[in-house]
Structure 1
């Protein structure tokens, strides 16, 4: 909507063209909500509206003509909402969230997934653009303004990890991904080292607008990307961050989660995986078999992990892969492993690292007797574990599915010693025994049924 456009050069007052644009957008958003028979609508306004002397004119018109109540939230609440989204939807325990908007920048300190403190600064991309960049003011003046606001950040706001929220940081992360030919087309959860990208960030800030295309910046970000990146760079220095993880979720998701989790301290349970649950709800057609694959995979892993994963770093991804193994059947049976992998790569989003997502996709892609092939591994090599680890995980998943070939979910015990994998069971498992002969193994050992 860019409702703040023109406001900061006019005493903070919302301009008529920006209010009209926002009105039109809200009217059509309501059309969409009504189409889906939405029963509850949450609408909040942030910096531009809360700072505007004429905000009541805008809010009154929206209420009168559209019947929509807009809640104007303060800066600390805005920071809290972004932090709620980050702590629930990103694989982090600690960090400082940095949400750069048009009129303000919000920070929140997260420790052990809990929001400890928040701060809001009158420092935003549009505000900086209209006060300095549009007037061709020396960058020293903009920096002085930025540093004056950054002085308001409490000294305990420090963390090695910065969580980037908002359009500026997503655009910057996408540019870094394009520059580095990053193999996964997913900005949520993308992480980078600040020292690795410092030179790129500095060059972007000083680049002429007409050269921004060379930095992989899209046209709709030309007018504010330099301002936003300048703010981001200076905030990163202030909080002492070494690494950035990008959030595709922000205030919008925070509004929803704050309402949803209002009785649980705004947090999902510790081991809850929202994206995994979503995929299972939409694509799992055989819950009994899915649970069986999980149970068998866990037993096999417990018997074998000391060979390839002594610190048990990959148990989590293996067991998620076991749950999502056959979700592609909902699309088509014979090539379901390919569909499962595609769905995981593109729709597994929240609370997982990119390395975890790609590893899970590889495991479900190659669970049909074969180990991961070189083509797939080459494409995603920087995000995959060592080949030996990947092959063992893939083998365990394939063996678990094979043991349940007759869909009876057999009761088994597993042990490994002297290069022999013993599967103890009273079940005949004729089909499984025949198919196991064709399984590719990650090392030389025998599979024996006792």
Structure 2
């Protein structure tokens, strides 16, 4: 096991993430700190970083170094992006940082920054192709990912700070300013010559996450999750219009908008909206991960190939972090999957639902890490709040409810979640919950006594034929206690032999 500190010196903000890496390729974030330094703002006419902002950056680095020392990190990786990349006094700043903090800063080339963005997305999204946009304070990275590999990428020398400055300096009213800057952005996009049309956009960075917060407030979204939040293109355009038409001094009053970004958010939405128009994009997903996580995955996956299955890796990572009984969890999943597949004609659920069942089955006992008592409720919280990747937010919520129902006949859906879960999804949760309860009962001894189950489906009865290592009266009795719920959800009586 080793503890790694990763510091990202961005043009807008500086961030430290401290991560614990283990020998089984799992990891756990143990601290995450962010400061808005705006190193890319107030650049002097000769191209030098502003002395006051340099001083703030150094003070922030000293604080981060102290924190890393207190936690006893084994290694500190410090990377810097566009603001330092193009600073005329880059060498002077880096030497000053080293002399005052002992930290050696690696200045990333634009394509290196883009690559880390790609590697992060490839390991946390279960998509084979998309367009990735990371808009920072002074640069914007664009990556076309196809078959989970980089097809093309570019780093463009503009970001939220510089675009906002262009908008403020452009002549005319707000619409004329926006048109001038948008045309310039589209011209730059066109010059790349490779941007795909009609692909899903993955948005990286604080601006995207803040736009998602605004959207959540506008539509009363019930979850606080940022990763994999779905934002339709037309809602992004609505937010862009809201920001553009709100006077600069009043933008901080927009619900969900961080006061730290109020003066640069127009630049962000202008760039994103221009890309949507040029590439014909209608679907946006927000990433809760970025450059730092790309570095983390590089440290874990030394061959630089993405994880084979995003969901499987994410679940296994969580199981390792909470010291779950993996043997029992995997056997319950094996039995659940067998029941799901054999009962297809009875439950009539979409095949893709199996990933919801997988997540619930493998993590149904995760709440024991908090307390055994009411652990099904604790499992709900853990599944929903542990950054499990590879599921949509709706699927994640369904998995949490399914796991929570493994000890009760019926799970109560929070009224706040009714907007995300229609009657169809609620019925799916109840059916999956019954399947999970049966699988859990069949491994009640936690010793794999029931090695297999065969389902005989008749018009009014489903018979489960159990293959066991020893007598299975206990498991059969436990399972028959679920017969009433089985009859209600599947319309057939349950029989066990």
TM-score normalized with structure 1 length:
0.93
1:4 to 20, 25, 40: 40
Q: How far apart are the structure 1 equivalents of 2:381 and 2:271?
A: 37
Q: How far apart are the structure 2 equivalents of 1:285 and 1:258?
A: 26
1:350-393 CA-to-partner distances (Å, cap 9, x unmatched) read 232112211110111111141333x3376245246533322211
Equivalent pairs counted in the alignment come to: 447
Q: How does 1:375-386 map to 2 (within 5 A)?
A: 375-376=413-414, 379-383=417-421, 386=425
1:34 to 62, 65, 69: 69
Assess, with a 3 A threshold, how the Cα gap between structure 1 residues 271 and 107 changes in structure 2: closer, same or farther.
Answer: closer
Q: The residue matched to 2:284 in structure 1 has which SS?
A: strand
Q: How does 1:106-121 map to 2 (within 5 A)?
A: 106-121=141-156
Q: How far apart are the structure 2 equivalents of 1:408 and 1:258?
A: 37
1:177-225 CA-to-partner distances (Å, cap 9, x unmatched) read 1111112110111012112443233222222134332343121111111
Q: How far apart are the structure 1 equivalents of 2:235 and 2:53?
A: 39
Q: How far apart are the structure 2 equivalents of 1:270 and 1:162?
A: 21
Instruction: Tell me which protein shows more strand as a share of its residues.
Output: 2
Q: The residue matched to 1:163 in structure 2 has which SS?
A: strand
Correspondence for 2:454? 414
**Contact in 2 for aligned 1:13/1:53 (Cα 8 Å):** yes
Correspondence for 1:306? 345
Correspondence for 1:68? 103
1:276-300 CA-to-partner distances (Å, cap 9, x unmatched) read 1222112244222212211211221
Correspondence for 1:331? 370
**Contact in 1 for aligned 2:40/2:137 (Cα 8 Å):** yes
Q: How far apart are the structure 2 equivalents of 1:367 and 1:209?
A: 51
Q: The residue matched to 1:42 in structure 2 has which SS?
A: strand
Q: How does 1:357-372 map to 2 (within 5 A)?
A: 357-372=396-411
Q: How far apart are the structure 2 equivalents of 1:4 and 1:317?
A: 43
Structure 1 unmatched runs, 5+? none
The alpha carbon displacement at 1:54 in A equals 1.1
User: Please, what is the CA RMSD of the aligned residues?
Assistant: 2.2
Correspondence for 1:445? 492
Q: How far apart are the structure 1 equivalents of 2:91 and 2:378?
A: 51
Matched, 1:252 2:292: yes
Q: How does 1:243-282 map to 2 (within 5 A)?
A: 243-265=283-305, 267-270=306-309, 273-282=312-321
The alpha carbon displacement at 1:120 in A equals 1.4
Structure 2 unmatched runs, 5+? 1-36
The alpha carbon displacement at 1:172 in A equals 0.4
**Contact in 2 for aligned 1:100/1:125 (Cα 8 Å):** yes
Q: How does 1:132-143 map to 2 (within 5 A)?
A: 132-133=167-168, 138=173, 139=177, 140-143=179-182
